[in-house]
């Protein structure tokens, strides 16, 4: 089945010809849509005399009260395109079928896009059920079923809109404002230096880390940035990368409140050094002085500790809570209780929206700013904020993705707070390393297929590769935090005699509604990641178990069919919402 190419067309200044007004309401809606796009609607061959009065209520419309002629297609357009009209909408009675066909055939010859109302056989494009934000944010949501029913498309559109936050207009407007600020402040000088001319600059500005709709390489979203060895270019593009990640990960409703300060950690944070502008600023501060204001983002944990000359600990408590892989159905009752009773929540940026939605209104929440090139500094910031809240006597919940002790720095955080007088309570969570294999129909162990499991990281401290394990045919190996450097990792695995033809699965957003499982062979993983893009968080599973439950016709991969994709995850509990409300 072929599907039409959907695109957003720039119609500014174009001439759009509307032939006939048989269905007046449809004609008027299209006139308003054309005007809204910046094009000029020209109506010809008005079906009824009284239609002219109704059409004149639309601003900017041009009406030609005469019969249509084929020559109009090449005489009523712009001089820039040799008077050929840019687009044609036909709205004639069914009795005019011969004329409809004639117009269609001429438009095809001239390569003019044409839409013939209720005659798909005479159309090269069709209109899509579209929501346009009345507040002018620029948001448009279009749905098409490609001929399966416009009523159904309208319903699907309404369902989508009902799930958007009430402040979606402010979200879109704010993200556009931040994008423009970052381009102007951080990138213009660098781009002018690299590109040297205005045209190339304009192209480059629109293609930075996903800030231009879908025309970006999403597999680079989490590309490794060595924060202790950042180049000048990395520094310049830092906030752009971070804004892209914020758009991808942060709670949608909260994006309306985001400002540049949230993306504006000082440059010295990447070097681990603290700089002061004068002697007064560099003087030591007491614990009370440090915590009487917002935690300074340029203070390291060591610096905070060094200033505690008159520290007096409060009676706060802290828990390290695993939130599971993503689905609320996989959240433990203990974790839910901690979330509901917290005074202050410090959440990983990858904790999904449905889990964050369980946080009661009014509970202060801070989401980690762990962006490429900033992981170590962001971790320090979390620890500082947690310690400050504890000294104020608050109940602090450190909400972590998966399980706190499975590559979640849970052990480090436990020791940090315990050494300062606050021993954390640790609540386990379902680790994505094993939960994801279940949601992906991968039996991590199965007789005659896999008799052992290995869970390891794809990214060590400061971005180093982990020690490459030996290849064991009967082992299922799970690599966390590996997809952003799949090419390097796979290259090393093959150097260590791993079987290039062993099955592999890329599992993204495990147990979330937009879960994606992509099965392939180990040798194809880097190419597949580049082709399908990135949908973090994701992991890589390697071993024969990956295809153990698949039908044989889906397990054969080669150069012409490198991967197989499955989309979506369905909650198993039908009464989950009611259960959560009761709790």
Q: What is the mean pLDDT of residues 398-423?
A: 94
Identify whether residues 394 and 353 lie together within a single domain. Answer: yes
Query: Who wins on pLDDT, 492 or 286?
Result: 492
Of 76, 94, 127, the residue that ends a domain is 127
Question: Residue 302: CB partners within 8 Å, gap ≥ 6?
Answer: none
Q: Are the C-beta atoms of residues 221 and 534 closer than 8 Å to each other?
A: yes
Supply the CATH number for residue 500's domain.
3.30.950.10
Identify whether residues 504 and 469 lie together within a single domain. Answer: yes
Q: What is the pLDDT of residue 558?
A: 92
Q: What is the pLDDT of residue 390?
A: 96
**423 belongs to a structural domain:** yes
Q: What is the mean pLDDT of residues 482-493?
A: 92
Q: Are the C-beta atoms of residues 11 and 86 closer than 8 Å to each other?
A: yes
Identify whether residues 415 and 443 lie together within a single domain. Answer: no
Inform me whether the pLDDT recorded for 141 exceeds 80: yes
Of 231, 264, 297, the residue that ends a domain is 264
For tokens 């509604």, what's the residue? 513
Inform me whether the pLDDT recorded for 573 exceeds 80: no
Inform me whether the pLDDT recorded for 282 exceeds 90: no
Summarised one tens digit per residue, pLDDT across range 292-351 is 333 333 334 444 444 333 334 558 999 999 999 989 999 999 999 999 999 999 999 888
Cα separation of the two ends of the chain: 47
CA distance 490 to 500: 9
**153 belongs to a structural domain:** no
CA atoms within 13 A on the CB side of 318: 28
Identify whether residues 412 and 477 lie together within a single domain. Answer: no
Q: Are the C-beta atoms of residues 317 and 395 closer than 8 Å to each other?
A: yes
CA distance 318 to 313: 13
3-class state of residue 520 by DSSP: strand
Identify whether residues 358 and 407 lie together within a single domain. Answer: yes
Confidence of residue 284 (pLDDT cuts 50, 70, 90): very low
**Other beta carbons less than 10 A from residue 404's beta carbon:** 26
Supply the CATH number for residue 107's domain.
3.40.50.720
Identify whether residues 61 and 196 lie together within a single domain. Answer: no
Q: What is the pLDDT of residue 267?
A: 42
Summarised one tens digit per residue, pLDDT across range 24-78 is 988 998 999 999 999 999 999 998 888 888 888 888 899 998 999 999 999 999 9
How far is CA 140 from its chain centroid?
A: 17
Q: What is the mean pLDDT of residues 125-140?
A: 90
**578 belongs to a structural domain:** no
Of 127, 149, 177, the residue that ends a domain is 127
Sign of the Cα torsion 353, 355, 361, 366 reads negative
Supply the CATH number for residue 417's domain.
3.40.1010.10
Mean pLDDT score across all residues of the chain: 82
Identify whether residues 292 and 417 lie together within a single domain. Answer: yes
**6 belongs to a structural domain:** no
Identify whether residues 322 and 426 lie together within a single domain. Answer: yes
Identify whether residues 366 and 464 lie together within a single domain. Answer: no
Q: CA geometry: angle at 489 spanning 486 and 495, to 5°?
A: 135
Taking alpha carbons only, the member of 155, 97, 98 closest to residue 129 is 155
Q: What is the mean pLDDT of residues 108-133?
A: 92
Query: Who wins on pLDDT, 118 or 312?
Result: 118
**451 belongs to a structural domain:** yes
**36 belongs to a structural domain:** yes
Helices (H), 351-402: 353-356, 375-391
**161 belongs to a structural domain:** no
Question: Residue 529: CB partners within 8 Å, gap ≥ 6?
Answer: 219, 483, 486, 487, 506
**399 belongs to a structural domain:** yes
Identify whether residues 414 and 451 lie together within a single domain. Answer: no
Identify whether residues 409 and 445 lie together within a single domain. Answer: no
Q: 183 is in which domain, residue-wise?
A: 169-264
Length of the chain: 583
Q: CA geometry: angle at 569 spanning 568 and 572, to 5°?
A: 155
* Total domains in the fold of the chain: 4
Inform me whether the pLDDT recorded for 229 exceeds 90: no
Identify whether residues 183 and 298 lie together within a single domain. Answer: no
| Global pTM value | 0.67
**Backbone torsions φ then ψ of 424, nearest 5 degrees:** -75, 150
Q: Are the C-beta atoms of residues 88 and 70 closer than 8 Å to each other?
A: no
């Amino acid at each position: 089945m072929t599907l039409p190419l959907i695109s957003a067309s720039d119609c500014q200044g174009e001439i759009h010809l509307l032939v006939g007004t048989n269905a007046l309401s449809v004609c008027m809606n299209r006139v308003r849509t054309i005007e809204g796009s910046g094009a000029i609607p020209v109506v010809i061959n008005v079906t009824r005399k009284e239609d002219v009065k109704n059409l004149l209520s639309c601003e900017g419309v041009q009406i030609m009260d005469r019969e249509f002629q084929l020559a109009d297609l090449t005489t009523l357009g712009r001089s820039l395109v040799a008077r050929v009209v840019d687009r044609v909408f036909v709205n004639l009675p069914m009795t005019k079928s011969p004329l409809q066909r004639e117009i269609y055939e001429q438009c095809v010859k001239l390569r003019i896009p044409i839409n013939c109302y209720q005659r798909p056989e005479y159309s090269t494009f069709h209109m899509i059920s579209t929501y346009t934000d009345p507040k002018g944010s620029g948001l448009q949501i279009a749905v098409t079923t490609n001929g399966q029913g416009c009523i159904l498309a309208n319903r699907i559109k309404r369902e989508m809109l009902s799930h958007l936050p009430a402040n979606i207009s402010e979200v879109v407007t704010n993200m556009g404002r931040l994008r423009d600020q970052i381009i102007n402040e951080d990138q213009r000088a660098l781009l002018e230096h690299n590109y040297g001319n205005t045209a190339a600059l304009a192209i480059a500005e629109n293609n930075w880390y996903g800030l231009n709709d879908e025309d970006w390489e999403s597999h680079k979203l989490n590309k490794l940035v060595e924060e202790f060895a950042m180049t000048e270019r990395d520094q310049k593009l830092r906030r752009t990368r971070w804004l892209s990640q914020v758009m991808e990960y942060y709670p949608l409703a909260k994006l309306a409140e985001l400002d540049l300060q949230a993306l504006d950690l000082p440059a010295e944070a990447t070097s681990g050094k603290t700089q002061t502008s004068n002697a007064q600023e560099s003087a030591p501060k007491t614990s009370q002085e440090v915590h009487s204001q917002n935690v300074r983002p340029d203070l390291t944990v060591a610096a905070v500790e060094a200033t505690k000359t008159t520290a007096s600990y409060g009676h706060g408590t802290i828990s390290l809570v695993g939130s599971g892989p993503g689905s609320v159905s996989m959240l433990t009752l203990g974790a839910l209780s901690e979330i509901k009773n917290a005074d202050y929540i410090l959440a990983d940026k990858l904790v999904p929206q449905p889990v964050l939605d369980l946080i009661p209104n009014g509970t202060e929440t801070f989401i980690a700013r762990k962006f490429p090139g900033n992981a170590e500094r962001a971790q320090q910031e979390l620890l500082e904020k947690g310690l400050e809240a504890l000294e104020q006597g608050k109940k602090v919940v450190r909400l972590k993705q998966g399980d706190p002790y499975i590559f979640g720095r849970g052990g480090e955080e436990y020791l940090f707070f315990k050494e300062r007088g606050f021993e954390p309570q640790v609540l386990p969570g379902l680790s994505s390393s094993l939960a994801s294999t279940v949601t992906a129909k991968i039996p991590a162990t199965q007789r005659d297929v896999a008799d052992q499991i290995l869970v390891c990281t794809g990214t060590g401290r400061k971005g180093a590769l982990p020690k490459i394990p030996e290849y064991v045919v009967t082992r299922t190996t799970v690599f966390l935090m590996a997809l952003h450097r799949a090419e390097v990792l796979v290259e090393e695995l093959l150097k260590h005699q791993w079987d290039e033809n062993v099955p592999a699965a890329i599992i993204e957003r495990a147990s979330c509604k937009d879960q994606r499982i992509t099965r392939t062979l180990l040798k194809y993983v880097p190419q597949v990641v580049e082709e399908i893009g990135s949908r973090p968080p994701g992991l890589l599973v390697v071993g024969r178990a990956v295809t153990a439950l698949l039908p044989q016709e889906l397990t054969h991969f080669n150069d012409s069919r490198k991967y197989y994709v499955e989309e979506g995850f369905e909650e198993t509990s039908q009464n989950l919402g009611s259960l959560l409300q009761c709790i």
